[in-house]
Structure 1
Amino acid sequence: MTMFSPIRLRAAALLAGFALALSGCFMSPGKFTSELALTGPDSFTFSYEGEIFFLGLSKLAQMGAASEETFTPEACFNDETYEERECTKDELDSQRAEWDAGAAERAEKAKKDAQAMKAMMGGIDPADPKASEELVRLLERQKGWNRVVHKGDGVFEVSFATQSTLGHDFMFPLIEGFPPLNPFVQMILRDSGQARINAPGFAAQNGDNPMAGMMGGMGSLAGLAAMGAADGAGEGNAEAPAIPGVPMMEGTFTIRTAPGMRILANNTDEGPSATTNGGEELRWTISPRTTQAPTALIVTGG
């Protein structure tokens, strides 16, 4: 009989996750340093220095698309011992016939996926060899993106900084034409001068992402990379990600408050510490093992 080996099942699960990620045009942090400072009752600054990975512009996405067009026989196993064996000609012919029968459906799906991806990337076609250059131009014309460099394979080195008032909510990254599906950091203002700050993009596994349930709790590309690293660790390779092309998330996220502000809640390990200007600081160290998204509730007085 034909069966999936555990390794093939794991690979299939990862590919399914990639397909979901592609449908959401996912972005993920790589190595980074980020800070949100509440500088006054009506002002704040935010910065992000480091890597951002765009799955749609990586070789991994191209490999996923190519795999849909290549016939690969499934493994065959002994009905009694369940040990893998060589497939018979009839079994291979049957698999091939089933594959050929789905050609038209796969072609139509690929066409729709390509159109959807282009629409979700602000009109940028990921299949265009100059897509990365176009994304760089798109980001550089937006306020706050002071430096954007494509390092290759969908990884961009960026320097972002902005300052504004606490008269509106805030989210990063916010890219023209892109749907705000997976923010790294968001600040939601409440009545009575309170600010709720969440960083769902700085956790490998969390329930804040709407795709998390469909991905078995892996709500981000970082989650997929972490799952791959865990698989690699089990095979004596603890340092290298098992999923090539997906950078490991590693960095720090800091929230600073001005004097007089009160931190009502947070999920840091050690709680707030005093700063030299009389305010307080919250700091999270982010890694592929981070399972809780940083969060804090602060009374700004605004």
Structure 2
Amino acid sequence: MTRLLTILMAPLLLTGCMLSPGKFTSELQLLADDTFAFSYTGEIQMLALSKLADLAENSDESFEAECYDDDFDVRECSAVEIAEQREEWDANAQERREKQAREAEQMRAFLGGIDPSDPEAAEELANRLERQRGWQRVEYRGDGLFDVEFAISGTLGHDFVFPTIERIQGFNAFVGVHLRDGDQIRVDAPGFVGQKDTNPMLGGGAPLAAMAAMSEADDGGEMPRIVIPEGTFTIVTDGRILANNTDEGPAPHALGQSLSWNIGPATSQAPTALIAFD
């Protein structure tokens, strides 16, 4: 399980598919005068990143022979098989160390110089976020979990994506606002979806983190907390709503209309809407 997790985990870590909302409340305002306001209050988890990074760096620390029968069931190895596997293991030791060093350096580069195995890495990341505009509060709770308040407003002259982290590229977006020709705006919120139906290879980090947690618990370790998106996402607009996938459709609002999604473990469709400003 440990070796399988290492193989699956490396490309996901390095393509940014390791952020997930926890409990949250989020609102996006889109108005005809080209102004917008976005807020997110709640939990964000960098999915057990320090634990997974430690797992990746130390997955090959000890030798253990593995033998299988014709049905691919695990069986006891003979003394000859153990000796042969040990010889191969020792012969590849330098190659393993070099590979682990490369992966560790890639992780540090991906995190903008932050070493995920450093006990102070989470606090360093929190301090970096608080220096960015919009991040009003960032508190680390342990197990890769941050409690945050984010709010930003202005003129929407270009696409908007949340979250972004200084010096770190490629994180999976919770919310994306995309400007189209013809005074139309498309909103997608791929992060606001229950993870149970999400393929981890397509961006859902929670299943992989859960596998790592179960593996760690099986080995006698403490199972880290894994959060699942749970909260509400609301769009408020005075534009014309052309399409949306809410359950109940638009509702009256003081600024025009609102769309609201209740997100939980059973949510299988990410919120989406298309709005026109004629």
Same-fold status (TM-score > 0.5):
yes
> Do the aligned partners of residues 111 and 194 (structure 1) sit closer, same or farther apart at CA in structure 2, a change above 3 Å counting?
same
Q: Select the residue among 224, 233, 237 that pairs with 2:208.
A: 224
Q: How big is the shift at 1:15?
A: 4.1
What is the CA-CA distance between 1:223 and the residue it aligns to?
4.3
Out of 248, 251, 255, the residue aligned to residue 273 of structure 1 is 251
Per-residue CA deviation, residues 60-106 of structure 1 (Å, 9 max, x unaligned), is: 332232223333333x4444x76543222222223333332322222
Secondary structure of the 1:22 match is: helix
CA contact (8 A) 1:43 1:164 kept: yes
Equivalenced residues, count = 270
Match of 1:24 among 4, 15, 23: 15
Greater RCO (Cα-Cα under 8 Å, separation 6 or more): 2
Return the offset for 1:272.
2.1
Unaligned segments of structure 2, at least 5 residues: 216-222
TM-score (norm 1): 0.78
**What secondary structure sits across from 2:126 in the alignment?**
helix
Does residue 103 (structure 1) correspond to residue 89 (structure 2)? The answer is no
Cα distance change of structure 1 residues 99 and 293 upon mapping to structure 2, 3 Å threshold: farther
Task: Report the residue type matching 1:174 in the other structure.
Answer: T
Q: Give the direction of change, closer, same or farther, for the CA distance of 1:84–1:190 in structure 2 (3 Å limit).
A: closer
- The yes-or-no answer on 1:41 pairing with 2:33 is yes
3-state secondary structure, aligned to 2:127: helix
For the Cα contact (< 8 Å) 2:143–2:224, is it kept in 1? Answer: no
Listed as ranges, the gaps of 5+ residues in structure 1 are 1-7, 233-242
CA distance in 2, matches of 1:84, 1:128: 36
Q: How does 1:76-225 map to 2 (within 5 A)?
A: 76-79=67-70, 84-203=74-193, 204=195, 215-217=200-202, 219-224=203-208
* Inter-CA distance 267–102: structure 2 relative to 1 (3 Å threshold): farther
- Range that drifts further, 192-201 or 15-24: 15-24
Report deviation, 1:115.
1.6
Q: Secondary structure at the match of 2:191?
A: helix
Q: Decide which moves more: 42-51 or 14-23.
A: 14-23
Q: Partner of 2:107: helix, strand, or coil?
A: helix
Matches of 1:226 and 1:279 in 2, distance apart?
Answer: 41
**1:66 is the counterpart of 2:43:** no
Deviation track 1:223-248 (CA, whole Å, cap 9, x = no partner) reads 4357889x99xxxxxxxxxx744322
Say if 1:93 and 1:251 are closer, same or farther in 2 by CA, change over 3 A.
Answer: farther
CA distance in 1, matches of 2:248, 2:206: 24
Q: Percent identity?
A: 51
Contact 1:200 1:206 in 2 (8 A): no
Q: In structure 2, how many angstroms separate the alpha carbons of the residues matched to 1:222 and 1:94?
A: 38
What is the root-mean-square deviation of aligned Cα atoms in Å? 2.9
Name which of structure 1's ranges 126-135 and 197-206 shifts more when overlaid on structure 2. Answer: 197-206
TM-score normalized by the length of structure 2: 0.84
| 1:284-295 alignment runs, 5 A limit | 284-295=261-272
2:96 is paired with a residue whose SS is helix
Deviation at 1:206, TM superposition (A): 8.3
SS at match of 1:95: helix
Relative to structure 1, the CA distance from residue 70 to residue 227 in structure 2 (aligned partners, 3 Å threshold; closer, same or farther) is: closer
After superposition, the C-alpha distances for 1:119-163 in whole angstroms (9 at most, x for unaligned) are: 221222222222222111111111110000011121111110111
Q: Are the structure 2 counterparts of residues 129 and 225 from structure 1 closer, same or farther at C-alpha, using a change threshold of 3 Å?
A: closer
Give, in whole Å, the separation in 1 of the partners of 2:61 and 2:89. Answer: 10
1:256 partnered with 2:236: yes
